[in-house]
Amino acid sequence: MKKIFFVIAAVIFLSAAGYFVGNYFVDFALKRGDDLSSPKACASIADPNLKAPPAPNFPDEDWTLESFDGLKLYAKKFSPAGKNNRWAILVHGYGRDGTFAYDYAEEYLKCGWNVLVPDLRAAGKSDGKFITMGALESRDVFDWMKKISDENPDAKIVLHGVSMGAATVLMTAALEPKNLVAVVEDCGYTSAYEMFAAQLEKIFGLPEYPVMPCADIVCKMKTTVKISDAAPLEVVDKIKVPVLFIHGDEDKLVPFEMMGKLFDKTAAPKEKFVVEGAGHADAKRKNPAAYFDRVFKFLEDKS
């Protein structure tokens, strides 16, 4: 009887310890602050000195959407000088909001594209307590695409995402949304689990085990999805439209090798653009002219 008691006590203790460890990581890395600030981990990952660029000087309007799970989502829609059916949805990265994609929007608008810049769930003006690294955000972007298609059935939509936004648009494209014509992914990861595991000790001072397995379980409990569900590598073979992969070869957060894995697994028409000397999410800033020249050359026969 004593042996059984000690076994049960040990199981309870280990379960409680596992939950504590997993809960700490999930709240630290994925939970939005009560003041709507980014998760605490962003201070270790994102450049705190990077400021959002000014809004493009084009007509704009606020769009809202109710997510599949009842969150009110927000986006800014910008219109070019003339009416057309070309649309770009620009998806921001981890710990940011849509305003950090305004410089990308400026370039698309100057080339005559309609632009939608959403705040992903738990970012900016959108509701939500937890970031899910693309697992649920991809479904939200899918719904933004549906909203555009409902209003403009002839729309030709491009998805362009950076970092977590890149992972998000790849997963959205795998859902095969209507009116999608191309994807531009910039420094996306193969999976959020692998990305966090690779950086856990360096950034957070924590070991991969038991933190990541415990965090995966707790994340499921808190958000309905696991961190490991944010895994573009598992779904890129379902994408049917052309994909441009962009990555800096000095990326220390999302290893450069991840682009190769995503590229190789993708069965759709694909191109890659490697920016020498660029760190994470730095490809555009390294050489804006070359960056957008390559992007729009890739898109010129797809819209």
State which amino acid sits at residue 102.
Answer: Y
Reading the block at residue 192, the tokens are 């959020």
Say what the pLDDT of residue 1 is: 55
What region does 224 belong to: left with phi over 0, alpha with psi -120 to 50, or beta? left
Q: Is the pLDDT of residue 10 over 50?
A: no
Mean pLDDT of 76-105: 96
Instruction: Assign 96 to helix, strand or coil.
Output: coil
49 confidence band (pLDDT: 50, 70, 90): confident
The torsion angles phi and psi of 244, rounded to 5 degrees, stand at: -105, 120
pLDDT digits (tens, 9 = 90+) for 249-266: 999 999 999 999 999 999
Does residue 210 have a cis peptide bond before it, meaning omega lies within 30 degrees of 0? yes
303 confidence band (pLDDT: 50, 70, 90): confident
Reading the block at residue 36, the tokens are 């709507």
Q: Which CATH architecture has domain 56-191+230-299?
A: 3-Layer(aba) Sandwich (3.40)
Say what the pLDDT of residue 65 is: 97
Domain chopping of the chain, boundaries: 1-30+194-224, 56-191+230-299
Q: Look over the chain and give the mean of its residue pLDDT values, rounded to a whole number.
A: 91
Q: Is the pLDDT of residue 134 over 50?
A: yes
Query: In this structure, what DSSP letter does residue 249 have?
Result: T
Instruction: Assign 255 to helix, strand or coil.
Output: coil
Q: Is the pLDDT of residue 7 over 90?
A: no
Q: Is the pLDDT of residue 15 over 50?
A: no
pLDDT digits (tens, 9 = 90+) for 191-250: 999 999 888 877 767 788 888 999 999 999 999 999 999 999 999 999 999 999 999 999
Query: In this structure, what DSSP letter does residue 81 have?
Result: S
Query: In this structure, what DSSP letter does residue 59 have?
Result: -
The torsion angles phi and psi of 150, rounded to 5 degrees, stand at: -65, -35
Residue 153's alpha-carbon distances to 14, 217, 280, in angstroms, are 54, 41, 36
pLDDT digits (tens, 9 = 90+) for 168-192: 999 999 999 999 999 999 999 999 9
| CB contact set of 66 (below 8 Å; sequence gap of 6+) | 72, 73
Q: What does the alpha-carbon distance between residue 224 and residue 214 come to, in Å, rounded to a whole number?
A: 15
Say what the pLDDT of residue 26 is: 93
**pLDDT above 70 covers what percent of the chain?**
92
Mean pLDDT of 281-299: 96
45 confidence band (pLDDT: 50, 70, 90): confident
Q: Is the pLDDT of residue 13 over 70?
A: no
pTM attached to this predicted model: 0.94
